[in-house]
Amino acid sequence: MTVDPIHQFEIKRYVDLLNLSSVQFSFTNAAVFMFGIVAIIFFFLTYATRGRTLVPGRAQSAAEMSYEFIAKMVRDSAGNQGMVFFPLVFSLFMFVLVANVVGLIPYTFTVTAHLIVTAALALLVIGTVIIYGFVKHGTHFLHLFVPSGVPGFLLPFLVVIEVVSFLSRPISLSLRLFANMLAGHIALKVFAFFVVGLASAGIAGWFGATLPFLMIVALTALELLVAVLQAYVFAVLTSIYLNDAIHPGH
């Protein structure tokens, strides 16, 4: 038995596609899960709305609620102009949500427990903010770093703080999701090993194993909450950051 709580994060290479000296492209389990997530989201949304009924059923209600939930979030934090980013925020939210929830199913792979994935998503958000900000506002976008109504001698410090806080956004955005997913899955695995280890130790162990088993039940519920919450947090922060690209003035 491999007593290794990080075994679940291992990338398995199914087919090596391209093997250069510095980079290596392979079809992996991560790829399977990423496309699986896309398929689940797309299938659910199209299947739920297949009837296009005026009075929605349960599935259509869920699809409509997810739509309106994200639409409201984007509109509240970035205004009506922010709705150009609605498909982006919606895609991010659904991708992270489904990735997190799918990862809770035993024997699955958690796409969002890999820092490179969350970092890429965070950089996509910040890259969108920067590019859209400069395209839309030119150098006026830099006013983002200059708070208005501040005494002159404080301004340099505040500009430095603003720049640092802006640069820390992609880091916090990616690390938060990554660390939550990673830690939760490791904790679940560790308690699972306790259960198996104790149960194999005889009758007394069977009784002893109930405690970590109850812990797993509780942790799974907590992880479900965290999975949904982290997707929500990711989407909310994305909307807030995008608002800076649309309204750079403080």
Q: How far is the CB of 100 from other proteins (least distance, A)?
A: 13
Query: Which one of residues 57, 72, 79, 116 is an interface residue with other proteins (CB under 8 A)?
Result: 116
| Tokens of residue 127, six digits | 């890259």
Q: How far is the CB of 43 from other proteins (least distance, A)?
A: 10
Residue 126: left (phi > 0), alpha (psi -120 to 50), or beta?
Answer: alpha
The closest of 176, 182, 180, 183 to 119, measured between CA atoms, is: 176
Residue type, 245: A
Q: Given CA atoms 81, 235, 76, 43 in this order, what sign does their dihedral have? A: positive
Please give the Cα distance from 245 to 131 (Å, whole number): 8
Task: Decide if residue 245 touches other proteins (CB under 8 A).
Answer: no
Q: 230 near 103, Cβ under 8 Å?
A: no
| Tokens of residue 51, six digits | 């009837």
Neighbours of 44 (CB within 10 A): 16
Find the binding residues for other proteins in span 122-181 (CB under 8 A): 124, 175-176, 178-180
Query: Which one of residues 77, 114, 241, 242 is an interface residue with other proteins (CB under 8 A)?
Result: 114
Q: How far is the CB of 143 from other proteins (least distance, A)?
A: 29
Q: How far is the CB of 248 from other proteins (least distance, A)?
A: 25
Sole window of 89-97, 129-137, 152-160, 203-211 interacting with other proteins (rule: CB under 8 A):
89-97
Q: How far is the CB of 156 from other proteins (least distance, A)?
A: 32
Task: Decide if residue 220 touches other proteins (CB under 8 A).
Answer: no
The closest of 247, 233, 249, 250 to 132, measured between CA atoms, is: 247
Q: How far is the CB of 236 from other proteins (least distance, A)?
A: 15
Task: Decide if residue 76 touches other proteins (CB under 8 A).
Answer: no
Task: Decide if residue 205 touches other proteins (CB under 8 A).
Answer: no
Q: 89 near 70, Cβ under 8 Å?
A: yes
Find the binding residues for other proteins in span 47-66 (CB under 8 A): 49, 52, 54, 56, 60, 63-64
Query: Which one of residues 197, 236, 240, 247 is an interface residue with other proteins (CB under 8 A)?
Result: 197
Task: Decide if residue 6 touches other proteins (CB under 8 A).
Answer: yes
One-character DSSP codes across 167-194: HHHHHHHHHHHHHHHHHHHHHHHHHHHH
Task: Decide if residue 21 touches other proteins (CB under 8 A).
Answer: yes
| Tokens of residue 82, six digits | 């922010």
Task: Decide if residue 204 touches other proteins (CB under 8 A).
Answer: no
Task: Decide if residue 121 touches other proteins (CB under 8 A).
Answer: yes
Q: Whose Cβ is closer to other proteins: residue 146's or residue 236's?
A: 236
